[in-house]
Amino acid sequence: MALLLKTIYQETKEKYKLKLLCGKQGLNRMMNWVYITEDIANSSFVQGGELIITTGIRCTQSKNWLYEFIQSLIELKTCGVILNIGTYVFPEDVTADIQKLCDDNNFPVFTMPWEIMLHNVTRDYYNRIFKESQTEITLTSAFFNLIFQSKEASYSQAILEEYGHQDIKQYIICQLTATPEVSSDRLSHILKVFIPNSFLCHTKDASLIITYKTASDILSPAMQKFLSQLALYFPDSQFTVGIGSQTDFSGLPASYFHAKAAVQMAFYHKTSLFSYEDMGFLKILLSCNEQKILENYANQKLNGLLQQNHKQKQEYLDTLYQYLICDGSVKRIADALFCHRNTINYRIRILKEDMGFNLDDSYSKFELMVAFQIKEYLQIIH
């Protein structure tokens, strides 16, 4: 688990007299640990995401020691550095070259007065990281119990309310798939940058993103930025996100179900992101638990085509579908199917006269369109 560096800075800058010198654009980095070090040569302890504190006691080693030190921190993907100034290192040591290096790489550099006790800082930051980790584990478990309707659901709701989560329509479940799978810690860190009010947790088959206080019209573009960032970090993986419906506590299972359906829609349409809100008429079909009823309805309405082995069956199905969505315009149907208008006229005559489709009645056309929607929906879920 980790915290936004911006959060740590804002909450402790007065307490520890922190000043941001450069690298402001990197405040959205995640901080997962804090280290005091004077020599980065032995960097095996650095895994990425650490906030480094240094006193500069080894500054006599090289004239360019600070530039080289910060350059190494950037290469090791640490999240920033605090310079403990006043004895070995001073604000003027952060030269224009260093500032440019940090601004170009979005690497924050802070100063902190010498009189601040370093062990107080590290202990405070350790505690904050630990508390954030424990809170997220507790909340994730509580949300899971509500989503999957555990026997502990009522207790979990009480836990969420204790942590300030209200039982109002502010939650959206999203499903994330990754092929091949990637580090969940890295996913969580990137997610927090683009969608701060969120949790990442895992089921057997996929990952769930639980968002709160994020409106659906804001969530979609934020999720698109999140996916774009994932593509940069994990170029060998394919990511797909389905966004569920917005709900209160009682509707979390439905939002999860809608998110899974949205992922299937994304796969079907070969896109990386799809929202339940964009499913249109298919949302009604999704609420039907009896798939056999849907199959029977589609077969009944399209019986003249689906129940025969006509070698041109697909051509007539396509023509019938285009007739419905093109409002009977022969020209538009011909353009959509790349056919001559005479061919379309011939097929329409066969559909009407030989196959018995009543294409002059509005209600009949509505029923046929519903049948096609069902046919598409069943293809998606299967």
308-327 pLDDT per residue, tens: 556 678 888 899 999 999 99
Using the 3D structure, point to which of 52, 82, 116 is the last residue of a domain: 116
Phi, psi of 330 (to 5 degrees): -60, -40
Which tokens in the block code for residue 319? Answer: 């023509």
181-197 pLDDT per residue, tens: 887 777 888 888 889 89
Asked if 82 contacts 124 with a C-beta cutoff of 8 angstroms, the reply is: no
Domain total for the chain? 3
Q: Are residues 271 and 198 in the same domain?
A: yes
Q: Are residues 141 and 269 in the same domain?
A: yes
Which tokens in the block code for residue 142? Answer: 């509580």
Rounded mean pLDDT of 22-26?
A: 94
Look up residue 9 and give its DSSP letter.
Answer: H
Residue 188 lies inside a defined structural domain of this protein? yes
Residue 129 lies inside a defined structural domain of this protein? no
What pLDDT, on the 0 to 100 scale, is given for residue 304?
63
| Residues β-bridged to residue 242 | 175, 274
Question: What CATH number does the domain containing 300 carry?
Answer: 1.10.10.2840
Nearest to 77 by CA among 41, 114, 105: 105
> Residue 381: is its pLDDT beyond 90?
no
Q: Are residues 80 and 186 in the same domain?
A: no
Q: Are residues 253 and 337 in the same domain?
A: no
Q: Are residues 224 and 275 in the same domain?
A: yes
pLDDT band at 143 (very low <50, low <70, confident <90, very high): very high
Kind of pairing, strands 80-85 and 109-113?
parallel
Nearest to 369 by CA among 357, 356, 381: 357
What pLDDT, on the 0 to 100 scale, is given for residue 205?
76
pLDDT band at 276 (very low <50, low <70, confident <90, very high): very high
Q: Are residues 244 and 155 in the same domain?
A: yes
Q: Are residues 262 and 317 in the same domain?
A: no
Which tokens in the block code for residue 307? Answer: 């129940």
Q: What integer best gives the mean pLDDT of the chain?
A: 89
Single pTM value for the model: 0.75
Residue 338 lies inside a defined structural domain of this protein? yes
Percent over 90 (pLDDT), the chain: 57
Rounded mean pLDDT of 345-360?
A: 89
> Residue 307: is its pLDDT beyond 70?
no
Question: What CATH number does the domain containing 36 carry?
Answer: 3.40.1390.20
Print the domain residue range for 71. Answer: 3-116
What pLDDT, on the 0 to 100 scale, is given for residue 2?
65
* Sequential DSSP letters for 128-157: HHHHHHHHHHHHHHHHHHHHTT-TTHHHHH
What pLDDT, on the 0 to 100 scale, is given for residue 42?
61
Residue 173 lies inside a defined structural domain of this protein? yes
The count of residues in the chain is: 382
Q: Are residues 220 and 190 in the same domain?
A: yes
84-109 pLDDT per residue, tens: 999 889 999 999 999 999 999 999 99
Beta strands in the chain (DSSP E): 3-4, 19-22, 30-31, 33-36, 50-54, 80-85, 109-113, 171-179, 198-202, 207-212, 238-247, 273-275
What pLDDT, on the 0 to 100 scale, is given for residue 355?
84
Rounded mean pLDDT of 220-248?
A: 93
Q: Are residues 139 and 241 in the same domain?
A: yes
At 300 the three-state DSSP class reads helix
Asked if 377 contacts 281 with a C-beta cutoff of 8 angstroms, the reply is: no
Question: What CATH number does the domain containing 262 carry?
Answer: 3.30.70
Using the 3D structure, point to which of 259, 279, 299 is the last residue of a domain: 279
Residue 126 lies inside a defined structural domain of this protein? no
What pLDDT, on the 0 to 100 scale, is given for residue 74?
93
Q: Are residues 153 and 267 in the same domain?
A: yes
Using alpha carbons only, give the angle 378, 381, 382 rounded to the nearest 5 degrees: 80
Residue 122 lies inside a defined structural domain of this protein? no
Kind of pairing, strands 50-54 and 80-85?
parallel
Q: Are residues 244 and 272 in the same domain?
A: yes
What pLDDT, on the 0 to 100 scale, is given for residue 233?
87
Using the 3D structure, point to which of 279, 299, 316 is the last residue of a domain: 279
What pLDDT, on the 0 to 100 scale, is given for residue 118?
94
| Residues β-bridged to residue 198 | 211
> Residue 40: is its pLDDT beyond 90?
no
Highest averaged pLDDT of the listed ranges 34-48, 242-256, 297-311: 242-256
Q: Are residues 271 and 309 in the same domain?
A: no
